[in-house]
Structure 1
Amino acid sequence: MRNLVNYAVAYAKAGFSVLPMVGKQPLIKFADQPPMTVEEIKRFWQTHPYAQIAMRTTNFFVVDIDEHPDGADGFVSFKNYEHPEYFRNTLSQHTAGGGRQLFYLKREDCHIQQNIGWLPGIDIKAHINNYVMVAPSEHNGGQYRWENKNNIVTASPELVNAINDKPETNLDLSIDYDQKSATAELFETITSGLGDTGGRNNALASFAGGLLFRGVDPKSVLDLAKIANSRTTDSLSEREVVRTVESMVKKEIRRRGAQA
């Protein structure tokens, strides 16, 4: 495994926020923090010479195409998408796991929201505290490789609108429930998000607490909380999500201890 410091420096000089990685985990705290400077990158790689590289999706977003274990094939979804013209030619890479990622600069005239599951097998990674591994990083025996030497271009407004749009369904899925269970509401939070800005933290705490009370493993609770947060229009930082879930885990441990 080679030292990637020169690549990390080049990315930083090009205006991207670099993260040193082990596996797919950042080696530094980064949420809501300024990007590492070139000098900070050089010093860090001196003590961590085999760190891999990710870039935070601060000024760009990624169309992440992959084959998912549940059978969703992003390559088929991408091939069959009815508006291929929305995808301007841009910088793209092959991932270590066999996927493909298209990189687009965010527009200044509109906000793009993160959209996990935008299409079957296609995720949109756009939150300022999200990140993607980049070439020539390695993971699980595979390597990230740039597919071309294109410049990263600004996303078309049509693509941004399509990503932000919540498609309507023609099916009548309404059911007249006499009373909706708390468990049903927890499931709905995963897809509908945490609500308006003023109540996000309380909604997240209630969501995590409800799952823990029902015996869901804390790691799974954190993963589900991140999904719900990604479906929230003005989402919380990843650090806030982790901190809230950790707090609720401690609270649940105390509750169970009191009952013992």
Structure 2
Amino acid sequence: MKNLVNFAVDYAKHGFSVLPMIGKKPLIKFADQPPLTIDEITKIWQEHPYANIALRTTNFFVVDIDRHENGADGFKSIRELNHPDYFRKTLAQTTAGGGQQLFYMKRDDLSVQQNIGWLPGVDIKAHINNYVVVAPSINHEKRYEWLNHEPIVKAAPELIHEINKQAPNNYSPTEFKASGERSATSELFEKIVNGLGETGGRNNALASFIGGLLFRGVNAKEAYQLALVANQNTNSPLSDNEVNRTFESMLKKELRRREVKN
């Protein structure tokens, strides 16, 4: 691997908010923080010469298209949307996992909502505290590569309307604090919405989540689907392989528990 510091500096000079990554995990805390300066980028890559590069989705958003092992085919979903006019020609890259990402500038007249699971196999990464790993980063010995050198164009209004139409609404309920102690079941429900937490503890959080569902008698098929939703709602979700391995491990553990109990 080579040091990507020059690429990181170049991204920053072009106005992007750069993040250093180990694989797909951020090396620094960045939520609601200002972009790294050129000097800060240079220092970080001196200390971590093989760090990958990610860009925060601050003034742009990404249509993230992938094929998942659970059967969701983002490329098929885009075709079946039957609106090629929504997807203006813009900067695009292939990901290390074989997917594609289309980069669009956010509009001043329309806000775009982050929408994980917009279509089967298609996520919209748009929150200012989200990010995408970019070329020439490498993950599991596979490289991110730019498909073209097109400028990032402004998203079509029709695309944003379509994304927002299927995105969660902006209603915010009145704050309510339950009386008494919080139950493990309530925490399970909240994890479906809030995701698995910080990158360092996602695997353990997922295992605990799956184990809690199975222990409470949720069928394996439904428990797996809920695990996928919780993972998709995580800021930096685990790969399908990691989710599948964790689920199989927890399912075997639950089956052993039931055998002992009987």
TM-score normalised by L of structure 2: 0.69
Report what 2:91 is aligned to: 91
- Secondary structure of the residue aligned to 2:70 is coil
Alignment of 1:43-192 (within 5 A): 43-166=43-166
TM-score normalised by L of structure 1: 0.70
- Secondary structure of the residue aligned to 2:129 is coil
Report what 2:240 is aligned to: none
- Secondary structure of the residue aligned to 2:132 is strand
CA distance in 2, matches of 1:207, 1:197: 22
Report what 1:196 is aligned to: 172
- Secondary structure of the residue aligned to 1:132 is strand
5+ residue gaps, structure 1: 168-191, 231-260
**Deviant stretches of 4+, over 2 Å:** 192-195, 197-202, 205-210, 223-230
Report what 2:24 is aligned to: 24
Deviations, residues 225-259 of structure 1 (Å, cap 9, x unaligned) = 675588xxxxxxxxxxxxxxxxxxxxxxxxxxxxx
Report what 1:6 is aligned to: 6
Question: 1:207 Cα shift?
Answer: 9.2
Q: Is the 8 A contact 2:117 2:232 kept in 1?
A: no
Q: Is the 8 A contact 2:116 2:233 kept in 1?
A: no
Report what 2:248 is aligned to: none
Question: 1:141 Cα shift?
Answer: 1.4
CA distance in 2, matches of 1:84, 1:225: 30
Question: 1:198 Cα shift?
Answer: 5.3
CA distance in 1, matches of 2:176, 2:121: 28
Q: Is the 8 A contact 2:125 2:131 kept in 1?
A: yes
The alignment covers a number of residue pairs equal to: 204
Tell me which amino acid in the other structure corresponds to 2:187.
G
CA distance in 2, matches of 1:134, 1:201: 41
5+ residue gaps, structure 2: 197-202, 210-226, 236-262
Structure 1 residues 87 and 39: alpha-carbon distance in aligned structure 2, compared to 1, 3 A threshold: same
CA distance in 1, matches of 2:234, 2:173: 11
- Secondary structure of the residue aligned to 1:30 is coil
Question: 1:80 Cα shift?
Answer: 2.5
Tell me which amino acid in the other structure corresponds to 1:117.
G
Structure 1 residues 193 and 159: alpha-carbon distance in aligned structure 2, compared to 1, 3 A threshold: closer
Report what 2:188 is aligned to: 211
Structure 1 residues 201 and 38: alpha-carbon distance in aligned structure 2, compared to 1, 3 A threshold: farther
Question: Percent same amino acid among aligned pairs?
Answer: 57
- Secondary structure of the residue aligned to 1:34 is coil
CA distance in 2, matches of 1:54, 1:71: 27
Structure 1 residues 212 and 51: alpha-carbon distance in aligned structure 2, compared to 1, 3 A threshold: same
Q: Is the 8 A contact 1:18 1:36 kept in 2?
A: yes
RMSD (Å), alpha carbons: 3.3
CA distance in 1, matches of 2:185, 2:230: 7
- Secondary structure of the residue aligned to 1:36 is coil
CA distance in 2, matches of 1:66, 1:89: 19
